[in-house]
Structure 1
Amino acid sequence: MADERGAALLRGGVSSPRATFLELFFDLVFVFALTRVSQRIIDDLSATRQDLLAEIVQTLLIFLAFWAVWTFTAWVTSRYEPERPEIQFVVVYTMLGCLVMAVATPRAFDSRGLAFALAFVAVQVGRPLFLTLALRGHPRRLVTIRVASWAAMSAVPWVLGAVSTGPWRLACWSLAVVVDYAGLMFGWPVPRLGATRTSTWAVLGEHLAERYQQFFLIALGENILIIGLSFSGHSFSGVSSGAFLLSFVTTVLLWRIYFHRAGHLLTEAIRVARSPGRLGESASWTHLVIVAGVLATAVGYELAIVHPYQRTELSWAVFLMGGPAVFLLARARFEYEIFGRVSRSRIIGVFALAVLVPVATRTATVLALAAAATVLAAITVADYRRARGQAPELPHPAL
């Protein structure tokens, strides 16, 4: 009987592959959370702090914490029935924890470190523990036991870092993130129980693919929010208006490049893959980098809109050119995952953006943004010319 009650939580053949309204509601928290992550970097760059590298590392750790929460939630709702009250409770509980983390993000390495760490630990430990109880005697509860064990292990450096200050907090939280991602990468191995790689999980591929696509759109939504807030908070000069328009066009180009063929075929690729779980796991890491590139690009938007005339500093050029370059590199890997090949335009675009970094430091910020947008536009044109008159390409997963 207990085994049957646990089995009722698993996805069945009649489950809808579409994301539920609750999952879309859950995503709204991440629009706010990603904005807080970008704003941390923007504030650091505007203040021209000497320890800028350490500040960026801190922000990266915060972003990785948010991604760990979101991606595991996506796997949970792809593996378990999201319409069940128990799973809905897990999603709402996670949503509350993420909201607390987002509120604490601007001062996570200052006065709100304990709030951030405790919210993260409460989600990462509480979620698998609740699933373990809900699954009762079902064999899959061994998976959540493994996950909970690793979450409890990483909770120690998270809490120790929260009650520490300065470099000690950074060191402890860095260790905690390494533990969290090592568990995800190696399948949370536990003595006598072994490991359970996500690549071997039975998940609803269409649902998982849709969730990754939706998170990419969340990141673009964060970009739109940054563009609007930056422009509305400053004078409507001609050059600022130009930077505003360039930022919007760049966001559209990111959307176009992502969804060109590969972005549309992720669902089908997971369906026809010999190992759907392995492709889903690989796509998770790829989208982590794609979203990081989009967030870095948003930092460049604010710099160009607020300081359009100012000469581009090297640290600014890294975001104006580096953000799109990171996105293109991850998009190239995404293309390889779907088709087993990479378009030359992606690689050429990355090299072009790298070459433009020293050039950008000799020009105004708005011109540097225009150069990055030109590279992305050239890639979009190349995609269009290559696809024109050709039959739709079928996925051929390389993994």
Structure 2
Amino acid sequence: MTAGPGARLLRSPTSSGRATFLELFFDLAFVVALTRVSQRFAELSDDTGWALVAGFGRTLLLFLALWLIWSHTAWITSRYEPEQAVIQAVVVGTMFAGLVLAVTLPRGMEERALPFAVAYLSVMVVRPLVVAVALRGHPRRLVPFRLAAWAVASAPLWLAGALGPDRIRLPLWAAALAVDYLAWALGWPLPWLGASAVNRWRIAGMHLADRHQQMILIALGESILVIGMVFGGADYSAERAAAFAVAFTTSALLWRLYFYRAGLLLTEALDRAGMPGKLGTASERTHLLIVLSVLVTGVGYEMVIDHPYGPPRPSWLLFVVGGPVLFLLARMRLEYEIFGRVARSLLIGTVVLLLFTPALFHWTPMVALSVVAVVLAVVALLDARRSRRRPLEVSAPPVGRETSGDRDFEA
């Protein structure tokens, strides 16, 4: 590693692996943002057909933009020393931009498109330039320069979508976001410089695992907030009280299924992986799906508590059943990343929910949510039964099995 003034920004071996209080403070902006995402999803409850698909796609795009900013921040504080003033300034600045995104998000695809795009681009372009300047000639400065260059390349699409007619906003922003995600997947390649080997990055595995686990808890907390606010604001009835109880039980089961035991062993898996950057990249995408599934399921809670025994609406199943199905699929992916296999109980639960879905088109929302809760409970019980009287499993991540002796790590 080349020494120099910029080297002080790099995480040292003695740096704490736990998330800092500043990062937890930073997450507050994303609590607000995730709540706004849920609100946009909830507005789709009466839509059908193309209107439902387009509305879901617009909200999903806004969520993916938020996730890219949050996940980049998590990687920054996993690779650089979060106690350094420059990194703290970067985190605080990103938090402010995150609040702007949260405020504009409810109408972020409509009349507030420009401030949303400007806040997003200010993070994607300015933040890596600040880090690059702070690194002062250190070889790692090329990575943030790559990020800034690709963000500048996608900026015209973001701005054209924000300033142009509403009808072209979704395709332009979808293309811009595809560029941003593709650049990350490819390592932000540039002429003559090539790509950054993200899979070989040095990262603080404990820290990155902490950040992902905390985001899962934030998403679950947002769903609990939805349950409490909807039930507290509605006229009390025994039917709504029953829906409230089932919704809470479902959230508790999602928590149990995530943390036992794959989510709990994420830190160990990153420590055991020969190439933690590779496993961290895969895990980040998995946690994106898990957070999205929890948000979508939370919207289903709101619909069921409001009208537990109302007429069945096919669009509601996208949230009431679709969210848990996506959760189980993502949880299977996490299981493979941690243990190198997939639990049969998760597969059974997914298949059962998919088989029940056609029948649930003809039943009330309360019945659909109850079926989901029962299936998740059975999955949790099967997991517990399989582990009973057996030694606790240790992680055996198949992702990034190369050892440090086989590959050189990129700083």
TM-score, scaled to structure 1: 0.98
Q: How many angstroms apart in 2 are the aligned matches of 1:244 and 1:159?
A: 43
- Structure 2 residue 229 is the aligned partner of structure 1 residue 229: yes
Tell me the amino acid that sits aligned with residue 398 of structure 2.
A
Does the CA contact (< 8 Å) of 1:299 and 1:319 recur in 2?
yes
In the other structure, the counterpart of 1:283 is: 283
- Measured in 1, the distance between the counterparts of 2:47 and 2:15 equals 50
Q: C-alpha offsets along residues 30-70 of structure 1, whole Å, 9 cap, x if unaligned? A: 11111100110101214668612111100010010011000
Counterpart in the other structure of 1:86: 86
Please give the alpha-carbon distance, in whole angstroms, between the structure 2 residues aligned to 1:370 and 1:165: 43
How far apart in 2 are the matches of 1:294 and 1:47?
21
Task: Report sequence identity in percent.
Answer: 51
Runs of 5+ in structure 1 lacking a partner? none
Counterpart Cα distance in 2 of 1:270 and 1:13: 15
Equivalent pair of 1:239/1:308 in contact (CA under 8 Å): yes
CA contact (8 A) 1:318 1:357 kept: no
The 8 Å contact of residues 223 and 298 in structure 1, kept in 2 or not, is answered as yes
Partner in structure 2 of residue 71 of structure 1: 71
Q: Which digits, 9 at most, give the CA deviation of each residue in 1:150-178, with x for residues without a partner?
A: 11111111111100232200011001110
Letter aligned with residue 339 of structure 1: F
SS of alignment partner, residue 342 of structure 1:
coil
Matched AA of 1:6: G
**Is 2:220 aligned against 1:220?**
yes
The equivalent of 1:315 in structure 2 is: 315
Map 1:111-122 onto structure 2 (within 5 A): 111-122=111-122
Q: Give ranges in structure 2 of 5+ residues lacking alignment.
A: 400-411
Between the two proteins, the alignment pairs up a number of residues equal to 398
Q: 1:328-358 CA deviation, whole Å, 9 max, x = no partner?
A: 0010010000110001111111111111211
Whether the aligned pair in 1 keeps the contact of 2:73 and 2:91 (CA below 8 Å) is yes
Residues 87-166 of structure 1 aligned to structure 2 (within 5 Å)? 87-166=87-166
TM-score (norm 2): 0.95
Q: Distance in 2 between matches of 1:185 and 1:167?
A: 29
SS at match of 1:89: helix
Q: What whole-Å deviation, never above 9, does each CA across 1:277-307 have from its counterpart, x for those lacking one? A: 1001100011111111111101110010011
Write the distance in 2 (CA, Å) between the matches of 1:293 and 1:278: 23
1:8 counterpart residue number: 8
Tell me, yes or no, if structure 1 residue 189 matches structure 2 residue 184.
Answer: no
Provide the residue aligned with 2:59 in structure 1: 59
Instruction: Give the superposition deviation at 1:198.
Output: 2.1
Q: Is the 8 A contact 2:48 2:315 kept in 1?
A: no
Q: Quote the residue 1:395 is aligned against.
A: 395
Q: Is 1:260 aligned to residue 260 of structure 2?
A: yes
Structure 2 counterparts to residues 317-332 of structure 1, below 5 A: 317-332=317-332
**d(CA) in 1 for partners of 2:293, 2:357:** 16
- In the TM superposition, what is the alpha-carbon distance from 1:29 to its structure 2 partner? 1.2
Q: CA RMSD in A?
A: 1.2
Aligned twin of 2:41? 41
Q: Which amino acid aligns with 1:384?
A: A
- Would you identify which runs of 4 or more consecutive aligned residues in structure 1 move more than 6 Å? none
1:287-366 mapped onto 2 (5 Å cutoff): 287-366=287-366
